[in-house]
C-alpha cells in the first residue's frame, strides 16, 4: 500500500512538470526540412553552373574590302600608320574601335641600322646611357572616349602605354569588315576570343599589341599577363578603367657576342706578339 502511494505521488508530480511542444513547431520544422532538401541542392547546382567557364567569340564575318593592298593591317592604305611602322620596326597597340595605332617608341634593329645616336649604337649593341638617353618623355592622346597615356625613355629601351576606355566599348565591326582583308579580319576576330564564367558580363578588350615586323597580334584578354615577341618583353596589368602595358627592348645580343669574340681575338694576338 505504501509503495503504491509513493509511485502514484511521483507520477502525478512528473505529469505536472512535463512540458508539451506545440504542434505548430513540429509543422515548422517539417516545412523547413522539406524546403532545404529541395532548395539547397538547386542552389548548389546553380552555383556550380556559374563557376563553369565558357568560350565566347564573334561569329565569322566576311570582308567587304575590294583590294588587299588597301588592308589596314597588311596593306599600305594611307589612313593607317602601319605601313610606316613596318619600315621602322618595333611594337605598338591597335584600337579595334577606330584603328588608332600607338607606337611604344622602343628601339629596334631596323632603327639601329639607320640611326647611330641614342641608347643603342649603330650595330644594335646597347651602350652606356648618357644624360640625354636617360630622359623620360610623356605623351597623352584623347580619342573621344579613349584616353591613351604614353611614357618612354629617350634611349628606346623601356616604354609604357596606358589605355583607358568606357565600360561597354566594343570593336567597330563595320570598320573592320570594310578595311581588312579576310585573313586579317579572321586574325582580329580570333584575337577577341575570351573565356569567362557562364553568367559573368565580361566583354572582349578592344585592343591588342602588334609586332610591326611580323604583324602578329597579341591578345590582351588576359589582363594580367606577360609575353615576349622578338626583342621585346611586355608586361600587362589591369588599372582603373583600363590596362597598363610596360614594354622593354631586350635584344638577343648577337652583335655583342661578335664584339666580345673580336676583343678576345685581339687579346690573343697581343699576347702572342709579346
Q: Is 214 exposed, middle or buried (0-12, 13-18, 19+ CB in 10 A)?
A: exposed
Residue 164's pLDDT is 94
Please enumerate in sequence order all residues whose Cβ is within 8 A of that of 142, keeping only pairs 6 or more positions apart, or say none: 148
Please enumerate in sequence order all residues whose Cβ is within 8 A of that of 169, keeping only pairs 6 or more positions apart, or say none: 97, 145, 146, 206
End-to-end Cα distance, the chain? 136
C-beta separation of 251 from 124 below 8 A: yes
Residue 216's pLDDT is 94
Residue 136's pLDDT is 65
> 245-248 contacts: CB < 8 A, separation 24 or more?
245/93, 245/160, 245/161, 245/162, 245/163, 245/209, 245/220, 246/158, 246/159, 246/160, 247/91, 247/104, 247/106, 247/158, 247/159, 247/160, 247/161, 248/106, 248/157, 248/158
C-beta separation of 131 from 248 below 8 A: no
Residue 115's pLDDT is 52
Please enumerate in sequence order all residues whose Cβ is within 8 A of that of 151, keeping only pairs 6 or more positions apart, or say none: 136, 137, 138, 139, 159, 160
Q: How far apart are CA 101 and CA 92, in angstroms?
A: 7
Per-position pLDDT tens, the chain of length 274: 544 554 544 455 545 545 556 666 667 766 766 655 665 555 555 555 566 778 888 888 999 999 999 999 998 887 888 888 988 899 999 999 999 999 999 988 776 655 544 443 333 333 444 444 546 667 767 777 899 999 988 788 999 999 999 988 999 999 999 999 999 999 999 999 988 877 778 889 999 999 999 999 999 988 788 999 989 999 999 998 899 999 999 887 554 444 444 555 544 444 443 3
Q: How far apart are CA 132 and CA 153, in angstroms?
A: 9
Grid cell listed for 12: 502525478
Grid cell listed for 87: 619600315
What phi and psi, each to the nearest 5 degrees, are found at residue 181?
A: -70, 170
Beta partners for residue 239, in sequence order? 242
Closest CA to 131 of 148, 98, 153: 153
Amino acid at each position: 500500500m505504501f509503495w503504491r502511494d509513493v509511485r502514484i505521488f511521483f507520477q502525478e508530480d512528473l505529469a505536472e512538470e512535463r512540458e508539451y511542444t506545440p504542434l505548430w513547431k513540429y509543422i515548422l520544422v517539417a516545412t523547413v526540412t522539406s524546403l532545404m532538401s529541395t532548395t539547397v541542392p538547386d542552389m548548389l547546382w546553380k552555383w556550380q553552373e556559374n563557376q563553369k567557364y565558357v568560350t565566347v567569340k564573334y561569329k565569322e564575318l566576311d570582308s567587304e574590302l575590294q583590294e588587299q593592298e588597301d588592308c589596314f593591317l597588311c596593306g599600305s592604305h594611307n589612313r593607317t600608320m602601319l605601313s610606316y611602322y613596318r619600315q621602322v620596326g618595333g611594337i605598338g597597340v591597335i584600337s579595334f574601335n577606330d584603328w588608332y595605332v600607338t607606337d611604344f617608341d622602343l628601339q629596334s634593329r631596323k632603327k639601329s641600322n639607320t640611326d647611330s645616336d641614342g641608347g643603342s649604337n649603330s650595330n644594335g649593341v646597347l651602350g652606356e646611357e648618357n644624360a640625354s638617353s636617360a630622359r623620360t618623355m610623356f605623351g597623352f592622346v584623347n580619342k573621344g572616349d579613349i584616353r591613351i597615356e604614353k611614357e618612354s625613355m629617350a634611349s628606346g629601351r623601356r616604354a609604357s602605354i596606358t589605355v583607358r576606355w568606357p565600360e561597354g566599348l566594343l570593336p567597330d565591326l563595320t570598320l573592320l569588315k570594310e578595311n581588312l582583308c579576310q585573313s586579317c579580319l579572321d586574325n582580329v576576330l580570333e584575337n577577341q576570343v575570351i573565356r569567362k564564367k557562364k553568367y559573368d558580363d565580361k566583354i572582349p578588350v578592344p585592343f591588342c599589341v602588334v609586332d610591326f615586323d611580323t604583324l602578329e597580334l597579341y591578345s590582351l584578354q588576359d589582363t594580367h599577363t606577360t609575353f615576349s615577341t622578338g626583342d621585346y618583353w611586355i608586361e600587362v596589368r589591369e588599372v582603373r578603367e583600363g590596362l597598363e602595358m610596360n614594354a622593354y627592348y631586350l635584344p638577343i645580343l648577337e652583335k655583342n657576342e661578335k664584339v666580345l669574340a673580336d676583343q678576345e681575338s685581339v687579346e690573343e694576338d697581343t699576347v702572342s706578339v709579346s
